[in-house]
Amino acid sequence: MYATLALSWDMMFRSGQPGLSVAGFFGLGGYAAALSFLYWGVNPLVSIALGCLFSLLVAFILGLVILRIRGLYFSIATMSLSEIFRVIVMNWHRFTGGPSGKALPSAVFNGDSAKIFWLFLVLTLLTVIVSEIFERSRVHFALTSIRNNEIVAKSSGIDVFKYLVVVFALTSALQGMIGGAYAHSYAFISPEGSFNFNFVLLPVTMALFGGIHSTLGPIVGAVILGVVGEYLKLQLPYGHLLVYGVIIVIVILFLPKGIVGTAKERLKRKWATI
């Protein structure tokens, strides 16, 4: 799950725009999926797609407005959006259940964890495929050129704004999709659970940890950090998060390009010496 979020964040970041709205669209998709299931009896899997579409739509409209902003200001703007979503959901008692959230009558596949695992795997694969398509298509070159030098990109005829909106909407849709799957796998939604800032920090950490601007990096980062986190928890019931923090700092200090970036560089150097 975090792998998907990490990857979708990185896809946006490839354009050089550090968004912090992962939690916002994650939560939005989750609510859309859960509420459409609850109120209109939509099939859970279809409702996850609905959550995805809803996020896409919202992100597209908002993207038209906020994608004029750049850099750090973009981070703040997207973070503000997430918070605004959360407050609206929290105060709209009648429809969203307010701060307590809503319980669904049953989890998807009746809570069969193996099937849920497969569901997440399929969704992850889907994200990987989208990411790879991006990587190989014109979008990739457009985004890279925006990142490197927006003015040059513009003058060479790339419609910067259009690409940004498309990428923003698509990545948000992926986040919404995972949010929907998350809501269904635990059969409930609440503002504190769904719009949790953890859903921003952890994916970003994983992407940076693994290595940014690639499909592989965020996935590797998510897998390694996930496994390390669980292992540490078994070893040290209390201080594991402390060690986790230390690991992050050490990696940044000694492997500035992330695990994948560093590994690639090492390999390249090896090849060069041979």
Partner 1 sequence: MELPGVLKQRRNQYALACLFLVVLLILWKPSVLIYGVQRAGLYAAIAIPMALVLGVVGILNIAHGDFMMIGAYLAYWGNVLYGVDPLVAMIPVFVVMFVVGAVTYKTTIKKVLDAPEFSQLLLTFGLAMILEQLANLLWTSQPRKLHVDYASTSATIGPYSFGVFEFANAAIALLILITLVLFLSRTRTGQAALAVGQNPRGARLVGIDVERSYLLLFSLSIAIVSAIGGLFLVRHSIFPLVGGSYTMRSFALIAMAGIGNLPGILYCSLALGVAESLIISFKGYGGWADIVFFAFILLVILIRSYRERLT
Partner 2 sequence: MKLKYSTRVLTLILSMLMVAGCATTPAKPTEAPTATPTEAAPIKVGLIAALGDVSGINGQNGALLAEKEINAAGGVLGRPLKVIVVDDEMTPEKGAAAVDKLATVDNVDAFVINSFSGVHMAQIPALKKYGKVTIVTGAASHLCEEAIGEDADWYFHLHSWDYMQGEGQKAAWQAFAEKYPDIMFKSVFMAYEEGAFGTASYQFSQKLFEDIATLSGESFKSAAMGGGDYSAVLEHAKAENPDCFTWVGYAADALPILEQAKSINFAPKFFVGAPPGWPPDFGESPLAEGVIAYEVWADALTEVSDISKSFYDGYVEMFGSGPDNYLAPLVYSAIHILVEGMERAGTIETEALIAALEQTEYKAPTMEVITFSPSKIISHQAPLTPMLTQYQGGKLEVIYPWDRATSELIYPFPAWEGR
Chain residues binding partner 2 by CB under 8 A are 1, 90, 98-104, 106-107, 110-114, 117-118, 121, 124-125, 128, 132, 135-136, 182, 185-188, 190, 192-193, 196, 198, 214-216, 219-220, 223, 233, 237-238, 241
DSSP state of 212: S
Q: How far apart are CA 152 and CA 253, in angstroms?
A: 32
Structure tokens at 23: 């939690």
Q: Which stretch binds partner 1 (CB under 8 A): 60-68, 112-120, 155-163, 167-175?
A: 60-68
Q: Which residues within the stretch 163-222 sit at the binding site for partner 1 (CB under 8 A)?
A: 201, 204-205, 208-209, 212
User: What's the rounded Cα separation, in Å, for the pair 52 and 175?
Assistant: 7
x/- map, 115-134, partner 1, by CB under 8 A: --------------------
Residues 6+ positions from 171 with CB-CB distance below 8 Å:
8, 9, 11, 12, 19, 59
Cα-based angle 127, 137, 11 (whole degrees, multiple of 5): 40
Output 48 or 67, the one with its CB closest to partner 1: 67
State the minimum distance, in angstroms, from the CB of residue 70 to partner 1: 8
Q: Tokens for 34, please give them.
A: 């859960």
Residue 147 makes CB contacts below 8 A (sequence gap 6+) with 14, 15, 16
Closest separation in Å from C-beta 250 to partner 1: 8
Task: Name the DSSP class of 73.
Answer: H
Residue 161: CB minimum distance to partner 1, A: 11
Q: Using CB under 8 A, list all residues that contact partner 1.
A: 13, 18, 65-66, 68-70, 72-73, 76-77, 79-81, 83-84, 86-88, 90-91, 201, 204-205, 208-209, 212, 238-239, 241-242, 244-249, 252-253, 256
